[in-house]
Amino acid sequence: MLNLRLTILFSILCWSLRVSATPSVTDSATAKKDKVNIAEVAFEHILDAHSWHLWGAGHDALAIPLPVILKTESGWQFFMSSAFHHDTHGAYVVEINGTRLINYKETIYYASETANAHGSYISERVNNGKIELTNAKPLDLSITKNVAQLFLAMGVLLYVFIAMARSYANHGIYTSPKGKQSLLEPLIVFVRDDIAKTNIGNRSERFVPYLLTVFFLILINNIFGLIPIGANVTGNIAFTFVLATITLIVTNVNGNSHYWKHILLPKPLYLWPILMPIELVGIFTKPFALMIRLFANMTAGHIIVISLVGLIFVFESLWISPISVAFALFIDVLECLVALLQAYIFTLLTALFIGSAVADHNNDGVHNDEDEKLLNPSH
Amino acid sequence: MFVLGSLITPGVGLIFWTSVVFLLLLFLLGKFAWKPILNAIKTREEHIKDALSSAEKALRDMRELQSNNDKILQQARAERDALLKEARATKDSIIAEAKTKAQEDAMRIVEVARELIENEKNQAQDELRKQVAQLSIEIAEKVLRQELKSASKQMEFVKQESDRIRLS
């Protein structure tokens, strides 16, 4: 997201100073048109990609090639994303083991027999006024930019926390926390006490590792997303989908009899036909909201920053840049807060859902009539 | 819009890899990081709690000891005061007793002396009386001898005496 900003600002500089004497030094693919399509640029930077783009555009782009893993009609195919030669318009056909593949807007399709008018090997048809691609897709398990960042995040988390665990072993646990410990211990204690214990109660301990993993995985990916060349992992719906699904599973697997009674036999009885379906749907709407919330918040923040920088291109003036930069900086600082906040909210709500499923309301370890009294003091 | 569709359609590849990464992380961190870290934090918290409560207990014990000391000191002081008082009383009583006894002794001595003196005096008086009587008799004898040297005088005296006897 931010790399775009840097690239754009730099090229703006060149542009306004008329350094770009040769038309080949183009700023991006969009430079083909007179006006930059900001929406397209924004989505390009929010969506996943098969290579890790650093800077530059077109054939001059510098990108880290990533492995492409496909299950095609002719079996598993492995090759590096550099095989596409930075092409994302379906114009460059990669032929591997007799399978012809194209990268069209960062999705890999089987190439059509012939190229269309724009040189893309795609076939389109109009369906209800919408243009649809008819090309079939192989099963794509590539190490995309997001997956690569996930691996990186995993490596960092493992390194940091295992090193932290070791420092307890090495320096003893009775000394005051140092270095990583003093930074991360408050967060760990916060998740354990203020998120898990508050919302789940005295049986929170077994859920703490799950909540910690969720919290730190989201947090680190939120932060990586703010770094100029980082990937927008937490703003990807597949990522939030997986986390929300695991929360769904954890919640319902641990649901006690009271939880299920509340869903399947809601009171009062005469409203059962209405309430029961609502409660059943509620099982899914809660994690669904989790999924959408994180995805939308992170994506929205990134889009705002890109849009603000994009103003420079929309107005085609350098004089708008102080405003763009000032606002983008403001949003970026806000995003730092949001990075922490969204990790907190996701973890908090997960704990809340688990808490509602395992709740015994007086913390005696079982759900019984006493708890019912606590729930309905009027009865 | 085509791009929007890809924005809200979760990709199979990323779902797969996210699941792999997350479950791997959950397992590895759970085993090698969360467990030792949480244990360490918990142990330390308990240690701090224990240390605090034992410090408090020590303080309480010390206060108790101090108050005990005070009590003992006070007791000792009271005891000392009592002892002193008793000693003083004993001293006073001894002195008083001695005084009374001395007085009694003195009185007795005086009494004895007085008796002795009385006896001596009586004896002396008797002696004196005896001697005076002797002397008187002697004198009277001498006077009589002188007076009645002549026969006339003897007759006169007898006459005088016989007159007096008659008169009486």
H/E element, A157:
helix A145-171
ipTM of the complex: 0.82
Spatial separation of the C-alpha atoms in residues A154 and B24, rounded to whole Å:
9
Q: Minimal Cα–Cα distance from A370 to chain B, Å?
A: 30
Spatial separation of the C-alpha atoms in residues A153 and A293, rounded to whole Å:
21
User: Is there a contact between A157 and B25 if contact means CB atoms under 8 Å apart?
Assistant: yes
Residues 10-49 of B with CB under 8 A from A: 10-19, 21-22, 24-26, 28-30, 32-38, 40-41, 43-44, 47
Q: Which residues of B touch A292 (CB under 8 A)?
A: none
When CB atoms are compared, the residue of B22, B37, B43 closest to A243 is B22
- pLDDT for the residue A86: 83
- Residue A108's closest CA among A118, A96, A126? A96
Q: When comparing pLDDT for B36 and B166, which is higher?
A: B36
Token representation of residue A218 = 């989201």
Q: Which residues of A touch B44 (CB under 8 A)?
A: 173-174
Q: Minimal Cα–Cα distance from B28 to chain A, Å?
A: 8
User: Mutating which of A185, A237, A292, A302 best tests the B interface, going by the most B Cβ atoms within 10 A?
Assistant: A237
Token representation of residue A40 = 């397209």
- pLDDT for the residue A154: 96
Q: Where are the beta strands (DSSP E) in A107-207?
A: 107-110, 124-127, 130-133, 139-140
- pLDDT for the residue A171: 81
User: Is there a contact between B3 and A43 if contact means CB atoms under 8 Å apart?
Assistant: yes
- pLDDT for the residue A169: 84
Q: When comparing pLDDT for A26 and B123, which is higher?
A: B123
User: Is there a contact between A242 and B6 if contact means CB atoms under 8 Å apart?
Assistant: no
* Host domain of residue B69: 2-167
Facing residues of B58 across strands? none
Interchain CB contact of B51 with A (< 8 Å): no
Q: Minimal Cα–Cα distance from B55 to chain A, Å?
A: 16
Spatial separation of the C-alpha atoms in residues A213 and A196, rounded to whole Å:
13
User: Is there a contact between A243 and B18 if contact means CB atoms under 8 Å apart?
Assistant: yes
Spatial separation of the C-alpha atoms in residues A303 and A193, rounded to whole Å:
35
Cis amide prior to A268 (ω within 30 degrees): yes
Spatial separation of the C-alpha atoms in residues A96 and A103, rounded to whole Å:
14
Spatial separation of the C-alpha atoms in residues B154 and B144, rounded to whole Å:
10
User: Is there a contact between A165 and B36 if contact means CB atoms under 8 Å apart?
Assistant: yes
Residue A53: φ, ψ to 5°? -75, 130
- Residue A354's closest CA among A217, A242, A205, A239? A205
Q: Which residues of B touch A174 (CB under 8 A)?
A: 44, 47
**pLDDT tens-place string over residues B1-27:** 455 677 788 888 999 999 999 999 999
Residues 6+ apart with CB under 8 A from A255: A357, A358
Residues 99-118 of B with CB under 8 A from A: none
When CB atoms are compared, the residue of A140, A151, A161 closest to B29 is A161
Q: Minimal Cα–Cα distance from B58 to chain A, Å?
A: 20
User: Mutating which of A167, A213, A243 best tests the B interface, going by the most B Cβ atoms within 10 A?
Assistant: A213
Per-residue pLDDT for B167 more than 80?
A: no
Whether the model clears a pTM of 0.80, i.e. scores above it, the answer is: no
User: Is there a contact between A217 and B41 if contact means CB atoms under 8 Å apart?
Assistant: no
Q: Which residues of A touch B52 (CB under 8 A)?
A: none
User: Is there a contact between B33 and A158 if contact means CB atoms under 8 Å apart?
Assistant: yes
Determine the average pLDDT of the residues in B113-127: 91
When CB atoms are compared, the residue of A47, A188, A243 closest to B41 is A188
> What is the chain A residue with the closest CA to B18?
A239
Q: What residues of chain A score a pLDDT lower than 50?
A: 10, 12-33, 379
Facing residues of A71 across strands? A76, A139
- pLDDT for the residue B3: 56
Tokens 């919290």, residue located: A215
Spatial separation of the C-alpha atoms in residues A161 and A54, rounded to whole Å:
29
Number of domains making up chain B: 1
